[in-house]
Structure 1
Amino acid sequence: MSQTHEAKVLKLQAQLADIFKESRAVRFKRSSTNSTRQRVAGGNAAEIDLTDLNEIVGLDSAARYIDIEPGVPMDALIAATLQANLMPLVVPEFPGITAGGAVQGGALESSSFKYGQLNDTVLEYEMLLGDGTRIVATPDNEYADLFHGIATSHGSLSLVTRIRLKLEPATKYVALDIRPYGSAAAVTEAIQTHTKENAVDFIEGLLFSETLGAVITGRLTDKAEHPIRRFGRNIDPWYHRYMHQTAAEGGKSITVPLVDYLFRYDKGAFWMGEHLFPLFGVKSNPVTRFFLAPISRTRKLYDGLHAMNVQHEYVVQDFYMDWNDAARIVNYNASGPKIYPVWMCPIKSVTTPQKLSSHYRDGEEMLLNVGIYGQPATGNAVNDTINLEKLILNLPSRKMLYAQTFYSQEDFWTKYDQDWYSGLRTKYKAAPFRELWSKIHTPNSAFKSRRVRGFIQVAVEALWGKNVVWGRK
């Protein structure tokens, strides 16, 4: 194991041990976030700096795994694995998403119908418990309950210091087939059919309106079987716009370089970047998208979201739905918010005891993630989000917890096993770590926009290349 990694972990162990002895809470300083929840100050909690926990620890190409620290972002992970002609089985679509955030936040992607969430491809975790004890958890050792419990725990059970991820052979390209459909029901049915055929490596759907959608399937390949289309450069089209136009024109097949496909939604953060242009008083077109490229990629858009604190003006939610219930989300959106596109991504469920995960079920089945991201026509994003939460409250379906969450504590624990969770916290001395509901719950006090100041900050940082510091409150 890397000596540098070892030194980092020993330092963190000592810090946690001291904090535990003092019966204090802890908050972690990280370099970035891909959560849309408001950042909340930690009171007098002790702060531990994790910003340097972001290195590749080792890669075993023969055994096909990589050891990484939790702060490693997806683009650095891909760069490292591609040197060995390997890749992770599930790659979250934003290059700045960190490995630790992805496994503890329950990240999925278009390969999830085969592999589940990214945490389902983890072989082992190195973790520090609340008292500083260092353990290695695997699916079949004495810490198996924590190995599974860490999924979607959002840092409330332990401090992950190393992740061992399973890898598979990489290819140069992804061959995409884009097919249009005339309704949400037709898109859903086509996606479900593809999940049963086992003939592709990636599946996703996009709804552009009530009457037009597309199902996009992909296959890993080393051969450019169709015209090559790129999405990663500033001069390239935004992925969702290209797919909309292609669906309207009847569909086609294209070949996309692997990295361009994996991070196809980086420009515009799916389509949330479309809300950037009115701030500049311009319309979104190829010219303005090119010139605003420095601040239209996900890292800067997330910085802007938090700097301006305007999360409450948008619905940004993912719902893991049973197939028969998916129409409830789609129909609610069509009747009120009218947010388009809508993302659809199939994911297989798990029965292992990761009881906080959105795809945890009693039996194995295929689920459909429905992603609603945008500014609602109703003008009340908070109300729409609350209505969507109520819609699934009494269903087996669950939402992802990276997003704003308005469930009361009582309602929240009707959907999750509180006794199981509390048992894990007690067993593994997690008292210093903030409890899950209090961490993910969005209080009304969070709705205080800093639109002008935040906009200036992000624009200056993107164009100047240096961070703007406003001073501490």
Structure 2
Amino acid sequence: MNETIADEQHARAVDKISADVRSFHNRKVPFRVYHGSTNSTRHANFDRDAIVDVSSLNRVLHVNEETKTVIVEPNVPMDLLVHETKKFGLLPPVVMEFPGITVGGGFVGTAGESSSFKYGFFDRTVNWAEVVLADGEVVKASKAKHQDLFEGLAGSFGTLGVLTLVEIQLISIKSYVELTYYPVTSIEASISKLRQETLKDENDYVDGILFAKTSGAIISGRLTDKCPKLSMIQRFSRAWDPWFYLHAERIASKKASSTEIVPIEDYLFRYDRGAFWTGRYAFKYFWTPFNRITRFLLNYFMHTRVMYHALHASGHTDRYIIQDLALPAANFVEFIRYVDFKFGLYPLWLCPLPPNTRGSMAHPRSLATTAQSKSDQYINVGVWGPYPSSEDGYVAANRDLEAKLSALGGLKWLYARCFYTEDEFWQIYDENRYRALREKYRATSLPTVFDKIRDRPESRNQRFGYGEPGLKGMTKRVLLSTRLMRGFYGIYKAIRGGDYLLAKKKN
């Protein structure tokens, strides 16, 4: 698209957003920002009459080869961003592992990946941001101007204003990633090897998977244009390719390190098929064999965009532990032992993060100023798996997990369901500093971070006909009265497509 036309289209879109925001502000009507999709697992249901729609802000406007930057609207997903920057021989330094995660979600949410030990979270790669404040004023925030707003946007979840444009740093791309898998046989060995690999200057990517207490793999990657021989190339994106975690598990079982060459986009989105390993639970749920043939036949449903659609339609986050948790490396072993004892869930994802991790995670309170808290590396642990129990048992288990994390100086990703009380939440996050920022930038009419993330079981019930009058509501309640039927309903909605977050138009 012609750059001038794209700029004009963007300006018109921002003018419309600004006018809508100003109207809500003048009428003192609360509103929410609607993006059209989500990678959150919290229950969500938007009211069409109380939203500011930014779903059309989905264009890459400019790529500058000299400055190695890209100017991009917030609804651009990772796969499109990589596709466009790749044309210029460039790549975002932090690319989230699911192709549908958007630039805006990565910036105002919390987004790290296997390159984050080197570059920090995604928000650390942003140079400036264009924001529509809650009264309709449009500002550009950076380290040079409105620095407090710019830094406060990370982890703010749209509660300081409406993000409309960002400039992102880029690095030179290469065709492949040379991956080396290092098998480990204990929790202690996994953290030791993980930290060792992050200290190697030649590594561009580092993450790990624990398959059990006594089995795992630490995986490091280096960008390269060299491919010694075609037989070394391994792909993960095609229907007949292996799921990445299964491939890593097979290598780990051999108890010897192994190296292979992976095309860059296959590496970046290696966890898309199967959503790490959570897709395997769908096979068990529907009594379907889990093997190469069934994974091939059901490949369409195993990509994260489809899985998130089905997940929200079915409400199946209600019996699964789905949490990403960051804690100081010094407390890693204790935490993994706790997860093993309490939940017994494997695999677990391990992703090393830099010491400045907390600043990207929703305005947390500062830790005690000890040498350890200032310099210690953090580790992201992904805990994802079924937890069959009563509703009370499920909530209690998640609250226990949250409490253990806090006791060990950790923080959780707030895309997931949160069970804190408001008092508990503000014991972890800096309410005074956060509210002062909202006052300064006139954002008090917007929901707070706690308002955005607090658990809302009533949103799930709305999807299943509770409170919906008439024959249609009764039919939906009957048909969706079992978890199995809700599963089929999620599949139906995913095949049908369309919007899965907006409430139906009021009559």
Q: TM-score, normalised by structure 2?
A: 0.88
How far did 1:461 drift? 5.3
Instruction: Answer yes or no: is the 8 Å Cα contact 1:310–1:447 preserved in 2.
Output: no
- The one-letter code sitting in structure 2 at the alignment partner of 1:5 is H
Instruction: Answer yes or no: is the 8 Å Cα contact 1:92–1:107 preserved in 2.
Output: yes
Deviations 1:290-310 (A, max 9, x none): 111111110011111100012
Give the secondary structure class of the aligned counterpart of 1:455: helix
Given the alignment, which residue of 317, 321, 327 partners 1:321?
Answer: 327
1:71 match: 75
Give the secondary structure class of the aligned counterpart of 1:414: helix
| 1:356 pairs with 2:367 | no
C-alpha distance in 2 between matches for 1:444 and 1:470: 16
Give the secondary structure class of the aligned counterpart of 2:33: strand
2:385 match: 374
Instruction: Answer yes or no: is the 8 Å Cα contact 1:347–1:359 preserved in 2.
Output: no
1:238 match: 243
2:471 match: none
Given the alignment, which residue of 223, 226, 237 partners 1:223?
Answer: 226
C-alpha distance in 1 between matches for 2:58 and 2:301: 23
Given the alignment, which residue of 11, 29, 33 partners 1:28?
Answer: 33
C-alpha distance in 1 between matches for 2:177 and 2:487: 36
2:111 match: 107
Deviations 1:435-458 (A, max 9, x none): 110110114445647545653444
Instruction: Answer yes or no: is the 8 Å Cα contact 2:120–2:357 preserved in 1.
Output: no
When structure 1 is superposed on structure 2, of 329-338 and 282-291 the one drifting more is 329-338
C-alpha distance in 2 between matches for 1:405 and 1:467: 24
1:152 match: 155
2:453 match: 440
- The one-letter code sitting in structure 2 at the alignment partner of 1:63 is T
Deviations 1:14-64 (A, max 9, x none): 11111111111112222210001111445x962222111111121111110
Instruction: Answer yes or no: is the 8 Å Cα contact 1:94–1:265 preserved in 2.
Output: yes
C-alpha distance in 2 between matches for 1:35 and 1:438: 15
Given the alignment, which residue of 121, 125, 129 partners 2:129?
Answer: 125
CA RMSD of aligned residues (A): 2.4
- The one-letter code sitting in structure 2 at the alignment partner of 1:80 is E
Percent sequence identity over matched residues? 34
| 1:90 pairs with 2:103 | no
Q: How does 1:178-193 map to 2 (within 5 A)?
A: 178-193=181-196
Given the alignment, which residue of 411, 417, 420 partners 1:398?
Answer: 411
C-alpha distance in 1 between matches for 2:405 and 2:497: 43
2:266 match: 260
C-alpha distance in 1 between matches for 2:302 and 2:211: 21
Cα separation, partners in 2 of 1:232 and 1:459, compared to 1, 3 Å: same
C-alpha distance in 2 between matches for 1:302 and 1:351: 26
How far did 1:172 drift? 0.3
1:418 match: 431
Instruction: Answer yes or no: is the 8 Å Cα contact 1:348–1:359 preserved in 2.
Output: no
C-alpha distance in 2 between matches for 1:16 and 1:447: 28
When structure 1 is superposed on structure 2, of 350-359 and 456-465 the one drifting more is 350-359
| 1:12 pairs with 2:17 | yes
1:51 match: 55
Instruction: Answer yes or no: is the 8 Å Cα contact 2:358–2:364 preserved in 1.
Output: no
How far did 1:390 drift? 0.7
Cα separation, partners in 2 of 1:92 and 1:355, compared to 1, 3 Å: closer
Cα separation, partners in 2 of 1:353 and 1:96, compared to 1, 3 Å: closer
C-alpha distance in 2 between matches for 1:381 and 1:209: 23
Q: Which has the higher helix share?
A: 2
Q: What is the number of equivalent residue pairs in this alignment? A: 471
Deviations 1:146-166 (A, max 9, x none): 101010111111100001100
- The one-letter code sitting in structure 2 at the alignment partner of 1:7 is R
User: Runs of 5+ in structure 1 lacking a partner?
Assistant: none
2:138 match: 134
When structure 1 is superposed on structure 2, of 387-396 and 163-172 the one drifting more is 387-396
